[in-house]
Amino acid sequence: MANGNHQAVIKPPPSPSPLRNSKFFQVIVADNYFTGSKDNLSKWIGHPRFELIRHVGTIKTNVIGTLNMLGLAKRVGARILLTSTSEVYGDPLVHPQTEDYWGNVNPIGVRSCYDEGKRVAETLMFDYHRQHGIEIRIARIFNTYGPRMNIDDGRVVSNFIAQALRGESLTVQAPGTQTRSFCYVSDMVDGLMRLMEGDNTGPINVGNPGEFTMMELAETVKELIDPEVKLVVTENTPDDPRQRKPDISKAKELLGWEPKVSLRDGLPLMEEDFRRRLGVPKK
């Protein structure tokens, strides 16, 4: 799996390959911890078939990292999963976004290393699939949240929950009407596993079609955690997409998948984890 900030696990091909036997698995993780933590992998450190490397930036991961992983997949005959992103759609001109939409992306903006990096990664995946017969799977992931995320990773759900727990104002980027769709991590993992184990190459949108404005998200976090905190509107980042909502018809039809955890059910689980790590008891 190749992602924006880390590289992980290539899954072996189906039987009768001897690689189906778990004793042949080896996992190498390269992670820069921008959005995660070494603690999330602590139980695997020291395992004889697990190796952890702190390395790799966004565009290098998506271009050089994807090339390296494809080369490995070609060499050992493995199936490979690319965790792409809804950012390939840029600031979309169609809503909701379907997999056949080509996107509206600024190639030289401040966010372009991520958007264009993922678009190149998808191109590389299909080039290797067409030219070398590599078994590929591509998931276009929409915003995902859940426990064990980096508390200060800068992502909106992490920001709001951490700010509310610290008693700080929730900083909503202007105008607050821009929308996102939030998928709980357990639903996301289930979707990725179904894609990897199925027969469709993708790309397939994997996300929760429930759409919320940033102001609605802030209000929900405020209600759940601390009704006394204030909401403050701040300057927006350049090229911030105005709308984001997945059309998951393809995932339903081809994978039999759709998310089960609502935002109101998922946020308290993330709050509980953040409370524990921040040392903030529940009132």
Query: Distance (Å, rounded) from C-alpha 69 to C-alpha 29?
Result: 12
pLDDT of residue 31: 80
Most confident among 49-63, 119-133, 236-250 (mean pLDDT): 119-133
pLDDT of residue 6: 46
Q: Which residues of 80-106 are buried (b: 16+ CB within 10 A; e: fewer)?
A: bbbbbbbbbbbbbeeebbebebebebe
DSSP state of 134: -
Collapse the DSSP code of 86 into the 3-class scheme (helix H, G, I; strand E, B; otherwise coil) and give the result: helix
| Model confidence pLDDT, tens digit, residues 65-101 | 999 999 999 999 999 999 999 999 999 999 999 999 9
Computed over every residue of the chain, the mean pLDDT equals 90
More confident of the two residues 21 and 28 = 28
The pTM (predicted TM-score) of the whole model is 0.86
Written as six digits, the tokens of 267 are 């946020």
Residues facing 181 on adjacent strands: 211
Q: Which residues pair with 50 in a beta bridge?
A: 27
Q: Is 114 a catalytic residue?
A: yes
Superfamily of domain 7-278 in CATH is: NAD(P)-binding Rossmann-like Domain (3.40.50.720)
Active-site residue, from 114, 128, 145, 184: 114
Can you give the pLDDT at residue 263? 96
Residue 154 phi/psi, 5-degree rounding, is 85, -5
What does the domain layout of the chain look like in residue ranges? Answer: 7-278
Residues 62, 108: Cα–Cα separation, whole Å: 16
Q: Is the pLDDT of residue 269 over 90?
A: yes
